Amino acid sequence: MESADRLLSMDLRAGDDDWSPTPHGHWLAQMIAESDLVRGRDVLELGAGVANHTILIHRKGAASIVATEITEELLVTAQANFERNCGEDAEIEFRVADWLSTPGRFDTVVSNPPFCQSGKQNRRYFIDSLILDAHKRLRPLGELIFIQSSMADFGETERLMDRNGFDVEVVGTTSGPFRDYYFEDQRFMEEIEGVEGAYELRDGFYHEHLRVYRGRLREWAPHTNAHLPGRT
């Protein structure tokens, strides 16, 4: 088996407007590298950024990959990085898409969803959306894999996943110091005061915890008289 270090070694290039990987992205990558979460699976990756996970998903032997970004410009970076690291002939489809608004059914949805800088009134919007709607992109028994900070409320995520038909497993946890930009958003700093276990102070320094979640859709069928015209 290839070592995680080798799998994680890549030549990534990014412009000023691209999302350069943070500790969240690094930890999700570590968990994908050390596991068989994507091997042999049809994977939809949402918000590919600079393709740090896309490259890894390919290297870990996904059966197919669809990788998305919100704009064409961001997707160009992802595609260039992917081709530089995986070759121009590697099978993949890149799509501009607004989160889950893209067609198809997949075995696995993978994401590092925006949170602190989600730009939404409900900062958890992209996490909530994944939990509520990923089933529309997943095949029966499909899996949702994503990373989340303690600041986004682990308890809320686990309750919501259970309520929406996912068996929840924590693939891996880690922790690390706050990023500088957290402190620059006063409202964010106020919001996290209302979240149980949002952070830990170590020697006076703020630390967040990170969890990679694996949600497996439970077997389920709507009751035969359910009012479901579209059946999704």
- Binding residues for ligand SAM, per CB under 6 A? 19, 21, 25, 46-49, 52-53, 68-70, 74, 98-99, 112, 114
Residue 4 CB, nearest approach to ligand SAM (Å): 16
Query: Side chain identity at 168, as an amino acid letter?
Result: V
Residue 20 CB, nearest approach to ligand SAM (Å): 7
Helices (H) and strands (E) in the chain, counts: 8, 8
CB within 8 Å of 61: residues ≥ 6 apart: 38, 39, 40
Residue 81 CB, nearest approach to ligand SAM (Å): 11
Return d(Cα 195, Cα 158) in angstroms, integer. 14
Q: Which residues pair with 202 in a beta bridge?
A: 205
Return d(Cα 76, Cα 74) in angstroms, integer. 5
Give 7 or 48: the residue with its C-beta nearer to ligand SAM.
48
Give 10 or 162: the residue with its C-beta nearer to ligand SAM.
10
Residue 61 CB, nearest approach to ligand SAM (Å): 19
Residue 86 CB, nearest approach to ligand SAM (Å): 16
Give 25 or 172: the residue with its C-beta nearer to ligand SAM.
25
Give 30 or 68: the residue with its C-beta nearer to ligand SAM.
68
How many degrees, rounded to 5, is the angle at CA 52 between CA 11 and CA 7? 70
Strands 106-111 and 200-202: unpaired
Largest CA distance in the chain: 58
- Considering only CA atoms, which of 60, 215, 47, 48 is closest in space to residue 119? 47
Give 28 or 161: the residue with its C-beta nearer to ligand SAM.
28
Residue 45 and residue 71 in contact, taking contact as beta carbons nearer than 8 Å: no
Residue 216 CB, nearest approach to ligand SAM (Å): 22
Residue with the closest Cβ to ligand SAM?
47
Give 149 or 164: the residue with its C-beta nearer to ligand SAM.
149
